[in-house]
Structures are given as structure tokens and as C-alpha cells.
Amino acid sequence: MTRDKNFKLTYVIIGINVSIFILLFFIDKSLSFSPKTLLQFGAKYNPMIASGQYYRLITSMFLHSDITHLLFNMYALNILGQNVEFVYGKLKFIIIYLIAGIFGSLGSFILSQSIAVGASGAIFGLLGAYLYLYISRPKAFSAKYIKSLLTIIGINLLLGIIIPNIDNWAHIWGLIGGFIISWAIGIKGEKTFTISKIFAQILTIVLICASLFTGIKINQNSWEYNVYKGESYLSQNKITEAELQFIDGLSKNDNIEIFHYYLGYINLEKGDTEKAKYHFQKLVELNPRFTKEKEILDTIG
């Protein structure tokens, strides 16, 4: 596949990712960033997205956790992005990249509770664009080329299963999203509003909306969401609302230390020593290292 010499848009995206990484380096003073720093700059964190911070589905695509993560993704983007930009054109390339990245974030939002960052969902979307190109223009590829492409996809998905802390759901959904949006808009020069493409365009919108709605419902019913909302209410000094969140969280999982910790102190402040005693006893049972709470139990008897 012949490539033009000028691929400014691919380089612009790489430049944005690298620039953000450099900014975080000066803030964190490290080449491996803390979760706090990543969250501050827009990492995917399910409770925050479920509470309305939908922009994290996009901002997380431009963050990387460490230098190895950045270099690996930018290397892949440089190789895949140039060909996709050449075949689809600059506007369609950026649409594919962003929509596939959103799909990747949504897959992670629904199926993974971990804090997540990285361009890999969007990069797998570029592989999805290759797959659409192969299906629509099979003569443009040799059998050897498509075998290599499928091997690359398979190896990367396998690595996502074997290696810890790799968000394979983002990869899979990014791949699917890249294929569907490529089908929806077509390669450079293709008509955009054929019956097939209109169907794919509607499918893209429906899948994004349905995935977002599903992710919100799933995560608002998780105990992690109750922790986040409860701590948010505490920061606003809304004690009653925070208490209700922690109680709701305990109904989902009675073995989460932080719920008993907060409820113990809330009830102690309210003067309800019996409830405070129950929560501190449970807290110490779960984690004996809470020595201060042991002392409080001794005091309140």
C-alpha cells in the first residue's frame, strides 16, 4: 500500500499525546503516573462517568500511564494511522479514530471497573478500518497481508488476556467500533449516504447510546459508585446524603472496609454509639490494622 509523504493529522494526534505526557511528567515528576494525576486529567473512572462526567470517555484516549505505554501506542499509531489516513482521507480518519476510541472507552466502562487510560481502543479501531477495507476491497490485499493483519489482531488480544492491567475490553470494542464507523462513512471517494451506509450510521449511534445507557445503569448499581458519591457528599458537608450512599453500598457488599469506616464515624458524631460500635467492630474484623478504631471501641465499650 503506497503512502503519501505528508500525514500531518497522524502526527498531530501523536503530538497531542506526547505533549500531554510531558505535561504530566512535570506535574508528577515521574515517567509512571499516579492514579490521582491520571484522574485529575481525565482518566476513565466508572463512578465519575456514571455521575455525568462523560468527557472522560474521550479524554482518557489521550492519556498514558507510563513511558512504555506511550511509546508502544504511538509506534502503533504511526504505522497504522498513516495508511488509514491515506486511504480514508483526513476527515474520515479522525472520525474513525475518535469514534473507535469512544467505543473502546464504552466497552471498558461497561465491563471493567479499573481506572483506564490509553489510545489502544482507538488504535484497534484503525485495525477495524483495515478489516472493512479488506471486506469492501478484497483485491487490494494479498492473502499474506490479511493473514498478517489477523495475526496482529490475534496476538494483541491474546496479550491482553495474558498480561495484567491491559484493558482487553477496550481493544475489542475499539476494533468493533472502528469496523462499524468505517462501514458507515466509507473510504475516500465513496458515497456516504447509500442504504448500507445509512444503516451503519444509525447502528453506530444506537450502539453508542445503548452502551452509554447500559454502562450508567450497571455502574450506578455498583458499590464503587456509592463510595464515590458518598465521599463527594462528605466533601460538600452533606452528611445525611453521604450516609445514605454508604448504607446503600453496604447492602451490595457488607465486606467493604470504607463503608464501615465512614458509617462508624458518622454515627459516632451523631451520638449513636451502638451503630458506631457495630461498624467499628466490623471494620476491625475486616482489617485489624485499624488500631485507632480499636481504641475507640475500648472507649465506648
Listed in sequence order, the DSSP H helices in the chain are 8-28, 35-40, 46-50, 56-59, 67-88, 90-111, 120-136, 143-162, 168-185, 195-220, 223-235, 239-252, 257-270, 273-286, 291-300
Grid coordinates given for 204: 453506530
Judge whether 108 and 90 are in contact, CB under 8 Å.
no
Rg for the chain (alpha carbons), in Å?
A: 24
Q: How far apart are CA 111 and CA 122, in angstroms?
A: 17
Catalytic residue list = 120, 171
Give me the phi and psi of 271, to 5 degrees please.
90, 10
